Each structure stands twice: as C-alpha cells, then as structure tokens.
Amino acid sequence: MELLRRRGRRSQKNMVTDIKIPELGENIESAEVLTVLVQAGQKIEKDQPLIELETDKATAEVPSEASGTVKEVLVKAGQSVKVGETILRLESADEKPDARSSEPEREAPRASAPSRVSEPAEETIVPSRTTADKTMDDENGRAASAKAPSKPARPKRAPARSAAPKKPAPEPLRLVDTPPQEEEAEEDVAMPPELGQPAPAAPSVRRLARELGIDIQQVPPSRGGRITEEDVKSYARRLIAGAQVHEAPDLSMVRPGIPELPDFSAWGEVEREHANKIRRVTAETVSLSWNVIPHVTQFDRADITEVESWRKRMHERSDASGAKITITAITVKVLAAALKVFPKFNSSYDARTEEIVYKKYVNVGVAVDTEHGLLVPVIHDADTKNILTIATELTDLAERARARKVQTDELQGSNINLSNLGGLGTTYFSPIVTWPHVAVIGLGRASLEPVYLDGTFTPRLILPLSISYDHRVIDGAEAARFLRWMAEAFAEPMQLALEG
C-alpha cells in the first residue's frame, strides 16, 4: 500500500516542458540571443515572449508554448543557438493525477499490518518479474538454437551474458600511420602540400592562384607531384560549386587558410570588440560574393533635371499620404522597369549545372545604413507598384530597419540591390554584387553641371550611376546598354510608359 501511496504522489508531480527554438524562416538554421526576457522561478503565461533573437539581420521573439514557472534558463545573451535547441525548461502542474492515488485511503485501517515485502522490494517487484521472464526466454532461445544447429541464427540477436565471449579475429597488419580507409583505395589520391613546405608550383601558377584568391597550399597537385594551372582552375571550380549549394555563406569554404593577425600590442595599446551578428553576416556575405563572382564595374551619368522638378511638384501630394518621394524610390521604379527590358540582369548563375536561372518576378533590395550595420530590406514585386506606393513602403521599411523591427522575410528574396550613397556626398563607387545576384546599382550625389544643349551651355542636374556585375553572365556591352537605358529613363520619364 505504501508503494501505491508513493506512486500516487509521483503522479501529482509537476510536468517539465522543454521550450525549443522554432523554425525562424527559410534557410535559417541558427540565430544569436539578443536578450533573455525571463529568469528562473518566474511565472509566465502562454505566448509570453521568452527571448529575443537576431537572425540574418532581423530580430524575432520566441514565445512560450504554455503557462507555468521557469525551472531553468539554458541560454544567455550573445550565445548562438540553432533551430530545435532547448532554450529553457518550463514547469507546469500535472492536471491528470493517477487514479490509483485514492486507493490507499480505503486501505488505511490495514496499514498497521506487517508487510511481507520490504520497501526496496516493493519498488522492484515488476522489474524483477520482468527480468526473470526475459532471462527464461533467453535460456529457451539458446536451447532451441543448440537443438537445431543447421538453422541460421538471427543476425541482430545479442549473445547471452552467460555465454563465453568469442575470441576476436586478428586484425590485418597495417602500417602504423596508415588509416584503414586508405588500404582499400584503388588508387592514390593527391594531397595538398604540408604546412610549412613550399608548394611545388611555377611562379605563373602561383600568380594565377593569387589572382583567383586561392591559397596555393590548399591545391592538390597532379600525379607528378607538381601543381599546374589546371589544378588551380579545378580547385577554383570546386570551391565555386561548393559555395553555390550553401544555405548560408561559409567564409572558411571560400577562403581556406585565413592567416592569423599579428600581435598589434607589440607596437602599442589595442582594444578588441566582438563583432555583432549583422557585421559578421555582412563580412561572410561580401567575402563569399567577392571570391565567387568575377566583378566588373562601369559608370554612367543621368540627367535628372526634369525628374527632380517633377519630384518637387509631387512633394505636397506625397506629404499628404505620409510618404516621401525620394530619388531612391524613383530609382527603384526605373530599375524594376529596366529588369523587364533586360531579363539577364534579373537572373542567377548556377555554377554546378552551368545554367542561367531567369526569374519571372522583380524584387529590389535597397541598402539602409543603420547604427548596427547595413540592412537591405526588399521591395517585392516592384514592377507592379507605382512610385508613390514604393515610396510609402520604402519609408516604412527604412524606419523599421533602423529600429531593428524589420522581419526576416522582408530582408529576403531580392533579385538585385540598390545602394544610394549620394546623401553622404560621394559620387562614383564600386559596390559588391551580392551572391547569388548578377548585378548591383550604385547612386552618387547629384550636382549641377554645365551641359552643352542647343548651341549653349545649360546647367543640368547630373546623377552619377555605377553598376557592378557578374562577368560570367553579363558582358561589358550589355552592362553599358543597361545603364544607358536607365540614364535615358531618368532624362525622359515617358520612356517608362513606353518600354517599362
């Protein structure tokens, strides 16, 4: 009866639930804990935020799946966590007590009778009986096997404990430093040169490796033991193919053997600061893009005198709607129209299959400078929206990006990016194409310049344009035509209605 009482008490124990990181978005496997919003011993309600996470340039809260008391918090601010990882344990009352817990009350008068089984035996009554039955089954099985030796034994049946262990077969002799896998290899595999030893390669081969951003020490040599140009090119192709299948950029796969920084403290005082999530993602993304994409940058100039005059006239109308029509919003519309005319700029290159993937939708990313780093919210379906709608959406996205309230899906899906540094006074620059895009547009500061028109010099407002592109997909002539089309669309706004 004491055993039943004990079981009854156990059935009334509180339930402990593991709260785990839910799915955060497409291709997002990990995030960084920004803030832990609860602590051990705190009572919480269902759907109450537990922690705040920072994913790829966005923030998200993880709500509680149930009500209860926080038993244990397993994460802390600054820690990296993966989808499915337990972040805390929640304790809640079990509302389903064991029905047998009421039985001891009726048996209370007999509680003084001496028990025929000691307390420890009560705890092990059922396990002991089960173990005995299992041992008997094993003995019967061994007896049946002995009577019928011709019958094949079951391959997965474990040997009885009482049986004498079989003597292990002697392992085949092998060299001390030779792994077992290498003995069965049919042919030798060329390995990169060891660290500290000069790579066996000609100066021209070393130069090619440097131009491709490849560590010559990581390139496996040919059969003769020397690294050839074809070895370097083959290694580069493997790196590119590997980068194409990454769900998230991996710097170590693109630039192996990153050297360690020197000890700067030998020359003076230094200070280290841990890079935040946005800076680390940016570093990995641009490193991947720079090493995978062969960049070329071209420049042009757009006469935006008429567009700027129209923008000022529309200022009152845009203020009434809460939006602010800027040259950036106008450029998004021009760029979206240009992608319809030049579909190759709205594509991606698949190095694994050597195919160009054309996209039938137009999403434009716009770089926003924040105190935490660069964020790129996306104007989805920009080709179907008018300039006023784009301006309204862009204003909202930029404000929420600076406040770190932009959602993950609002930072994904862009086909091409736009970076406007005109407000900072710059003119021409070379933006980096973000993999897997094939192009990026840069805007500089517009300025009044004398332009020779109709036999006289006239002051015109000139906007500097830059385009960087993936030379695997786009040639220089195509980039020139694309940028010139954009410049003419600024100069002649009706061109958007005719060709866009």
Q: What is the pLDDT of residues 249-298, one digit of tens each?
A: 444 444 455 778 888 888 999 888 888 878 888 888 888 888 889 999 99
Kindly give the pairing relationship between strand 439-443 and strand 416-420: parallel
Q: 370 Cβ partners below 8 Å, 6+ apart?
A: 401, 402, 404
- Is 471 an active-site residue? yes
Does the structure show a pLDDT above 70 at 98? no
Residue ranges per structural domain of the chain: 2-99, 295-499
Residue predicted with more confidence, 213 or 432? 432
Q: Residue 292: which of 364, 340, 332, 349 has the closest Cα?
A: 349
d(C-alpha 24, C-alpha 34), whole Å:
15
Phi, psi angle pair for 419, to nearest 5°? -125, 120
pLDDT value of residue 33: 85
- 123 is written with which tokens? 């705890």
d(C-alpha 418, C-alpha 363), whole Å:
11
Provide mean pLDDT across the span 45-59: 78
- State which CATH number among 3.10.400.10, 3.40.50.10680, 3.30.559.10, 3.30.1490.100 fits the domain covering 295-499: 3.30.559.10
Q: Specify the residue for token string 């500290």.
A: 196
- Percent of the chain scored above 70 by pLDDT? 68
d(C-alpha 145, C-alpha 435), whole Å:
64
- 300 is written with which tokens? 């042009």
Kindly give the pairing relationship between strand 68-73 and strand 43-44: antiparallel
d(C-alpha 203, C-alpha 123), whole Å:
78
DSSP, collapsed to helix, strand or coil, labels residue 87 as strand
pLDDT value of residue 197: 57
Answer for the pair 91, 68: CB distance below 8 angstroms, yes or no: yes
d(C-alpha 474, C-alpha 336), whole Å:
18
Q: Which residues of 90-116 are buried (b: 16+ CB within 10 A; e: fewer)?
A: bbeeeeeeeeebeebeeeeeeeeeeee
pLDDT value of residue 434: 92
Q: 378 Cβ partners below 8 Å, 6+ apart?
A: 363, 364, 365, 366, 410, 411, 412, 413, 414
d(C-alpha 258, C-alpha 251), whole Å:
9
Does the structure show a pLDDT above 70 at 218? yes
Residue predicted with more confidence, 70 or 200? 70
d(C-alpha 497, C-alpha 311), whole Å:
17
pLDDT value of residue 154: 46
- 144 is written with which tokens? 């049946």
Give the model's confidence band at 247: pLDDT under 50 very low, under 70 low, under 90 confident, else very high. Answer: very low
Of 246, 295, 372, 471, the catalytic one is 471
Give the model's confidence band at 493: pLDDT under 50 very low, under 70 low, under 90 confident, else very high. Answer: confident
What average pLDDT does the chain have? 75
Provide mean pLDDT across the span 147-175: 44
Provide mean pLDDT across the span 451-470: 92
Provide mean pLDDT across the span 107-123: 42
| Neighbour-count burial of 83, counting CB atoms closer than 10 A to its CB (0-12 exposed, 13-18 middle, 19+ buried) | middle
d(C-alpha 241, C-alpha 436), whole Å:
12
Give the model's confidence band at 113: pLDDT under 50 very low, under 70 low, under 90 confident, else very high. Answer: very low
- Percent of the chain scored above 90 by pLDDT? 25
pLDDT value of residue 120: 41
pLDDT value of residue 364: 95
Answer for the pair 246, 291: CB distance below 8 angstroms, yes or no: no
- 127 is written with which tokens? 């396990």
DSSP, collapsed to helix, strand or coil, labels residue 326 as coil
Does the structure show a pLDDT above 50 at 181? no
Provide the CB-side half-sphere exposure for 15 (13 A, CA). Answer: 12
Chain Cα centroid distance, residue 459? 48
Give the model's confidence band at 198: pLDDT under 50 very low, under 70 low, under 90 confident, else very high. Answer: low
Provide mean pLDDT across the span 340-368: 93
Residue predicted with more confidence, 55 or 409? 409
User: Helix, strand, coil % (nearest 5) of the chain?
Assistant: 40, 20, 40
* Lowest model confidence (mean pLDDT) among 64-68, 320-324, 394-398: 320-324
Fold type of domain 2-99: OB fold (Dihydrolipoamide Acetyltransferase, E2P) (2.40.50)
Answer for the pair 16, 91: CB distance below 8 angstroms, yes or no: yes
Q: Whole-angstrom distance between the N-terminal and C-terminal Cα of the chain?
A: 85
| Neighbour-count burial of 308, counting CB atoms closer than 10 A to its CB (0-12 exposed, 13-18 middle, 19+ buried) | middle
Which strands, in side-by-side order, build the sheet including 80-82? 59-63, 49-54, 30-36, 80-82
pLDDT value of residue 27: 63
Residue predicted with more confidence, 64 or 195? 64
Long-range contacts of 228-237 (CB under 8 A, 24+ apart): 228/201, 229/204, 229/205, 231/205, 232/205, 232/208, 233/208, 236/212, 237/351
Angle between helices 277-292 and 229-244 (to 10 degrees): 140
